[in-house]
Amino acid sequence: MAHANAHHALTVVDMAWPDQCNHHGTLFGGAALSWLDRTAFILASRELGGAVVTAALERVQFSAPLPSGHLGECLARIVRRGRRSGAVRALMDASDARGACPSRCCDVLLTYVALPD
């Protein structure tokens, strides 16, 4: 499920399935970064008007686990936009399957570069 708004942002919600989780029953960090990268990629593609690639991930901070069966709500916002590149801040909030008790679990800054036409 995805939702875009007029403020140069995009939200995508997914569930942490058991095959995406580690032996503690929480989402692998790499899977969390993949979710955030995909969400930010869609937004950057729209904002930069074409094909983009991920150039950098910076300031990755994991602050809480996302348990199996819980929802991860990824929010991406444009924080800098140039002619050929842009920066996107992506956050992930965890909540139970009903959407209750949300908590921030990950925060990252991603840079995207537009490919030549």
CATH of residue 54's domain is 3.10.129.10
Q: What digits encode the pLDDT tens for the residues 97-117?
A: 887 778 999 999 999 999 987
In the chain, % of residues over pLDDT 90 = 79
Alpha-carbon separation of residue 7 from 10, 64, 75 (angstroms): 9, 27, 12
State the total domains in the chain: 1
Residue 90's domain comprises 2-114
Cβ atoms < 10 Å from Cβ of 1? 8
In the predicted structure, residue 87 carries a pLDDT above the cut 80: yes
pLDDT, mean of residues 27-31: 97
**Confidence (pTM):** 0.89
